[in-house]
Structure 1
Amino acid sequence: MEHEAVREAVVMSKSDQREQAYLCAYYVSSEALSVAELRAHLATLLPEYMIPAYFVHLNQMPLSPSGKIDRKALPKPDYSFEMEQQTPPSNEYEVALLDIWRDVIGRQHIGVNGNFFEIGGNSILLIQVHGRLSERFPDLLSIVDLFAYPTIRQLARHIENLLSKEQNTFQLSPIRFSKEVFTNGAYTPGDTVEFRLTELQVNYIMWASKQSGVDTESVLLALFLYLFSEYANTDQVSVACMSAPDIAVPIAIDLSSISNLHELFNSVGKQKTNSGFRVNRSEWQHMRLERLGNELYAAFTTSKNSSTELNRIFNLVVRLKQSGKSISLQWDYDSGKMQLHTIHSWIRSYSDLISLSMAQYLRESEEKN
């Protein structure tokens, strides 16, 4: 062991009651050394998987008649722990970790302050723990995290911090369509289609925004969300709204709880101004917007961000351009995922929806009055 206090040492491979192998070190010294000290010393000399799970202090090695170490006479490791090491769990994360550790290590007497590698754990068992934690907390922890936080209490605090950080991270649910909407090509930026509203449609949008007490962007975005709820055949749809440079706000609707267009427009308008959560562009690289299967991530914006930059995150970016009584929508899309005829179909449907909503909103206003 090359430790100045250790006069003699031997390491043996043993099996626990579940036939899982582990390493146990027996050492002779004038007094017992702490497991933490021995592990720290060996960590400078050996890879983690070669560091013993247990250390047994002996006054002298048992010898055979021939004068060699009698390995069969070496005692079993003492699995008892001090009371402070058996501190009970104090929250749900510690309880979950304790259950996993007990099951993987095969011991019941484990405290939240005990080091995983000092109570029977090893690198192989750590991989099993990581697998179990990945089922409970998908994509949250790495193997490195488990080495860095070797006690239940430390790891539980780390998990709690990570989950808290995720809750303060921009999150957006994808819009799920039928698979035939999409192609399987690689990301291809730069394809754009522009749709200009008619004078009648512009007048309606401006009137509806005034009647609802929201801006024109909220009305157009609300109809955009409604359109994709129809295409995706779902009541719940969300997109990213960027009304200011470098700022994104998640906007979501649930049509099952909305009874008319006035409520729809107001719901979107309130979320834009009162969502309470915004994310800077510098954080976009950390957003987990996976481009998988039939899932689509969309953004609606009035800012002058680079369409290529946005499309590296969102499959579809609709940019609102308004000047006086002229309104147009520029649809920037990933042509590696969507075909041009699909975009044209969506734009035609969006134009039809604007016209249809005109009559519907007029009826709602008359009934309200």
Structure 2
Amino acid sequence: MAAPTPYKKKPNLYHKKAVQQPVSFWGRLLGLLIFVFFTVLTAGGAWFYSWTQSEQPNPPSHSVLIERGGVNAVAAQLVQQGAIDSAPLFILLARISGQDASIKAGSYALKAPMSPWQILKKLAKGEVDLQMFSMIEGWNWRDLRRALNAHPSLKHDTAAMSDSEILAALGISATSPEGLFFPDSYHIDQGSSDLKLLARAHRLMQEKLDAAWANRQADLPLKSAYDALILASIVEKETGKATDRPMVSGVFVNRLRKGMRLQTDPTVIYGVGEAFKGDITKAHLRMDTAYNTYTRAGLPPTPIAMVGEAALIAATQPSQTKAFYFVAKGDGYSAFSESLEQHNAAVRKYLSNR
């Protein structure tokens, strides 16, 4: 018997031995370019991050004023004022962080060295460098305008405006701005408009006046809240001590009820205006202006000063008194009298040695 023929595996006609092709020049170049790109990207990202966190070399010696505008304008303002050294990088930082639309206008204290990231966060949060403007009880409108025009941190939008133009811009229908602004200390930021400050002070005055008028005593000889404001301004100017205000208001209310003239010097002085030089005379008392309460009955046509809350409350909640007269004692307080005889005696007592 013949020996079996050994089995031979048939070759796989469909299998070919893998042959490693050499990498082409273009493939090597592409790989190199990708490597260089990611290397540059990583190095650039690290450098950019370092810039965002590094303190700027020359911080400004004063507050930085940021006016309204987009992030491009803000970056340009920061560079111009020395807060940062690169506008494009700051714009990129603001947009990458999503805070480019959150930047708020105002005055910012950046005097200490700060990084661009710290500056951006401060601007986005609106952490402005607030300053103060004080309106003083007893100031008249001329005093207020002078103070507004002289304040170095305000934008003087009202400087070239007339009184009527200011009232129109504020949407106030009154004929005079006198007494329409509440005396207080207001926070302001660098470059803010004096017109906006007046709007704030007017809103606060309206709130205080409305509250006082709503809580007024019954049967006051006052036709409106504006009448109460006029009376409050007279009380404000007539009193040196807050404790006297309700009594002084009570005297004026008694006179209004009786149809007596108020005969108060501050209104006469207001009517004389800037011609008044500090000493009231008989000629002043005889000068028939709209504010001379010696020659005219009733309240003057407008307030004569800015009034505080205590004067508003005194005008709407006067003391219940029988007094019709008062005279300054010289120590800030007043002496009150029910009759003319008592008043004349008080005048001789307290004014004879002046």
TM-score (norm 1): 0.27
Structure with the larger strand share: 1
Highest CA radius of gyration, 1 or 2? 2
TM-score, normalised by the number of residues in structure 2: 0.27
